[in-house]
Amino acid sequence: MSATQINDSSSYTSTNGSGKAGFEKREKRRTIRQLQNFISQGNVAAVQEILKSDFDVDFQYNGMTSLQLAVCEGLHEICKLLIDKGANVDQADANGNSLLNMACWRGFANIAQLLVSSGADVDSQNESGNTSLNVCAYKDYPAVAKILLARGCTLNLANKRGHTPLYCVAQSGNLEMVRLLLEGGVDPDWGDLAFKTPLMVAAEAGHQDVVKALVDAGANVNNQSRSGRTALHEAATLGHVKILQQLLDGKGDPDLATVKGTTPLLEAINNSHVAASQALIHSKCDVNLADRRHWAPIHAAIAQVSRMFDPNGGSAMRGLVEALVDADADINKFDEANWTPLYQSASAGDLELCKFFLSKGANANSLTLQGSSILHAAVYGGNGDVVKLCLRTGCSVNTVDEQGRHPLLSAVSSRCDLQIIQDLVDADSDVNIADKVTQQTPLHEAMCQHYVPAAHLLIDKGSNMELLNNEGKSPLYLACQRGLCETVQYMVKERGCPTRSSQISALPIHVAATQGRASTIQVLAEAGCDVNQTNEKGETPLAAALAEDNFSAVRALLQCGADLEAQQKMKGLQLCCLYQEDPHPHLGLEPLFHAMTHKNVHMMKMLFKCYRQMPRQTIKLLEVLLKRTREINMHYTQAQKAEILELLHNSTRTMFSLSDICRRYIRACLGSPLQARVQRLPVARKVMSYILMDVEFAEWQELEQELPGGSGGLSDLFTWRNSV
């Protein structure tokens, strides 16, 4: 025989064998498919007939053996036939669930019995570590559990979370299952991965009968979890009073604390469970045990009272506070911030509790770690009656805390009721004590808080109006900054407050100008304030207002007689002189330059109307800059550029009338305060009105309301109160 013939024969034999094996496998799959179809139909006779043939009964179809399918369908008779055929009773699915697990999950007691009798492993665990007994516990199937117990399954086998069968039924509350497991000898103290025992779980879930069964079976009521919690903690947290009493009767220790120092009593109070708290107090627990923040039950109870809005709930919690004191709670106990119960009550504004603690001898002179007194707390609480009570008790009105704040300063900064501030001042509180950090006095704070009545009260009581804070700002400066025109008038006109300041970087008139406080500017000017004084930058109020493009402030300053040429009259060196690239010595301070850079044509028109004489040199320079300087030119549209150039061009070519020239010179000569000086002139009222430019300023005032951005918004309205 040739080599070629040998190779061909070998190839034929191999192919023929492979075809036979494939045929047999297909036949086996076809048989199993038919078998499982009959099982799904519950056709016992057909199943019985197929089982007569010789095949692997554990062959899987669709990932499942025939016995697995029969168990899931609950077909006891078919299961028996398959087992008799030799089916594997310990076959597991992809998740590790055995046939016994499947039967237990569905509560098929007869099938479970069949499997157990056939030698199924009663302790097999799935991927989660659950045994068949765990499954019965989860699903509450005591009848199935009895079968497993009778077979001698392991009672304390826990799953991967540490949950034993007893743990599971304690959570679900199935008393029959609990008793069944306890009678079987299960360990009642077996804990999960966090050392949480079945007793803790039952107490947390509120299963009173289960708790009793566990305690009667000898469960340790004082076992602690990893965090230190006991069954008492769980019951107290959720307010299960009857369970709490059962545990206490079972020798539960109410003084055991968690790793954070929390006792069951603290848990009950923190969760507003009054009845549970009362039960713990009656058990003679230590009512002074505090957590690691030094938060004791008395502190927790007061905190709960301050949160109560329901009158009934509040009265119950107040009763708890009294019960704690009757049980020898320390009424002067400090928390981690050295707050006492009295301090807490005062800061909550609770007059009733304050009276109660003072009647019990609470220390009214204690201080917190921040140096705050009980009177500070009363001020923060905002209850005037509590403040009066503290004052009657003898609390010092001038005790300062770590920041240097005394109660009066705190009252003003907190915008307390004016009567509280009045009471503190009447009790000889020092109105000039300043904050150590900000150097703010109560008067400063009143301005910052826009608290006008308090500011007037402090001024009347002798507050120093010239004291400066750490930024060099006086109370008058702050009032001007915030537009408190009424207060500014009260200070400068009725109390003689100086309108200047020793700190030239914080001048009242300048901040009024930059903030657009037109009425405030008028009040300052009428009080004799120099409207042409300069700040540390060499700016007049007018220059400062122009820099901010504040139309209303510029209008008010001009109406009060501010000098448009004041910058030109200065002989000293100005900041802008240091800039070598500036071709004009004071261009950065020129009113027209500011108005032009802000593209404010209305402002430029107003300035042209008020100049004593036109600044022709400046106007020519501005025309050149606008035409030739690229950096400036690029910021204007063609229309804006044309409008401004036309305005500049016309301003130097328009002739003034004689009356207009006279008015400009008279206004420049009179200066500020313009209105008062004009009224002393021996001229007719019509002439006075012409000099004061009443018509023009009225038009500009109307225009203000239409202007966007910096020319409106922050501006307060300016009108002559005694107009001619």
Cα–Cα distance measured from residue 422 to residue 419, given in angstroms and rounded to the nearest whole number: 5
pLDDT at 18: 58
Q: Residue 571: is its pLDDT beyond 70? A: no
User: In this predicted structure, what is the pLDDT of residue 61?
Assistant: 84
- pLDDT value of residue 380: 96
Domain ranges of the chain: 541-711
Whether 724 has a pLDDT exceeding 90, the answer reads no
pLDDT at residue 99, as a whole number? 94
The neighbouring-strand residues paired with 61 are 64
DSSP at 64: B
Residue 293: pLDDT band (50, 70, 90) is: very high
Tell me what the pLDDT averaged over the chain comes to.
89
Alpha helices in 461-565 (DSSP H): 475-481, 485-489, 508-514, 518-526, 541-547, 551-559
Amino acid 465 reads M
Cα end-to-end distance, the chain, whole Å:
142
Q: What angle do CA 130, 131, 135 make, to 5 degrees?
A: 75
Tens-digit pLDDT profile for residues 645-669: 999 999 888 888 999 999 999 999 9
Q: What confidence score (pLDDT) does residue 717 get? A: 42
Residue 440 Cα to chain centre, angstroms? 28
Residues 351, 389 contacting (CB under 8 angstroms): yes
* pTM score of the predicted model: 0.80
What's the CA gap between 340 and 356, in Å, rounded?
14
Model pLDDT, residue 719 = 40
pLDDT tens column, 470-503: 999 999 999 999 999 999 999 998 888 999 888 9
Distance (Å, whole) CA 614 – CA 634: 27
Helix (H, G, I), strand (E, B) or coil at 716: strand
E-strand stretches of 314-384? none
Q: What angle do CA 315, 316, 317 make, to 5 degrees?
A: 90
Structure tokens at 139: 């699903």
Q: What is the pLDDT of residues 193-230, one digit of tens each?
A: 999 999 999 999 999 999 999 999 999 999 999 999 99
Residue 337, pLDDT > 80, answer yes
Q: Which amino acid would we find at residue 302?
A: I
pLDDT digits (tens, 9 = 90+) for 77-127: 999 999 999 999 999 999 999 999 999 999 999 999 999 999 999 999 999
Whether residue 716 has pLDDT greater than 70: no
pLDDT at 10 over 50: no
